[in-house]
A = this chain, B = another copy of it.
Amino acid sequence: MAELSEAAGVPVPTIKYYMREGLVPPGRPTGRNQADYDQGHVRKIKLVRALADYGGLSIAAIRGLMHELDNPATELHRLLGAAQRTVTEHTEPRPGPHVEEAQRRIADLAARRGWHWEPDHPSFRTAVGVLSLLAEIGRQDMIDVLDGYAEAAERIAQADLAALGDLSDRERVVEVVVIGTALGDTLIAALRRMVQAHLSHELLGGHVEPPAR
């Protein structure tokens, strides 16, 4: 156990906790207080640690994901979807007169851009919720950003796909999807604000340029 802790870089009590919670399988017992662990244990412990610490996942979410990961019958497409859903906040649209129109808009957008989509995907419902809220508060003008955002989302998802790398390594894929999606949202939001500040500076001038610029 001490060697396992050193190899994984995770303290012994944390490893014991992971095992108690069923996130990491126990070792092969070799004596009263001894057990054998292999590289599979080391990798799994590192993965659980990364998902909890940097993906912000709950123990229950990690358990569900490990179950899919360890089940050979779970196809990679489904595993990717399960990993993505752990870091997806889902806001169901508030019922109202604008929901149907918003649904139509997002469905049209997906059709126009050739996206395969499912009407019960949590992110479809979330996008519908944002759009119907904008219509509800009379900010129809802000709905016009949709095509620009969709183009940007395609660029982002292509970069995400490239980062996935070798798809045969399922543990790596799960880690990259969870951490990349969680940290990626933060990185995208930060870069968006940097460009907003740049454009504002270009358009309206900073304090150092003459006003005529």
Q: Which residues on the B side are within 8 Å of A76 (C-beta)?
A: 204
For A63-78 the 0/1 string (1 means CB < 8 A from B) is: 0000000000001110
A80 contact set on B, CB distance < 8 A = 196, 200, 204
Q: Among the interface residues A149, A159, A176, A191, which one has the most CB atoms of the partner chain B within 10 A?
A: A191
Q: How many copies does the complex hold?
A: 2
Within 8 A of B (CB), among A96-153: 110, 115-118, 121-124, 126-127, 130-131, 133-134, 137, 139, 141-142, 144-153
Q: Which of A25-33, A36-44, A177-185 contacts B (4 or more CB under 8 A)?
A: A177-185
Interface code A174-200, partner B: CB below 8 Å = 1, 0 otherwise? 011001110111111111111111111
| A92: interface (CB < 8 Å) | no
> Could you tell me if A141 and B165 are in contact, using CB atoms closer than 8 angstroms?
yes
Q: A149-B187, A179-B142 are in contact. Are A84 and B197 (CB under 8 A)?
A: yes
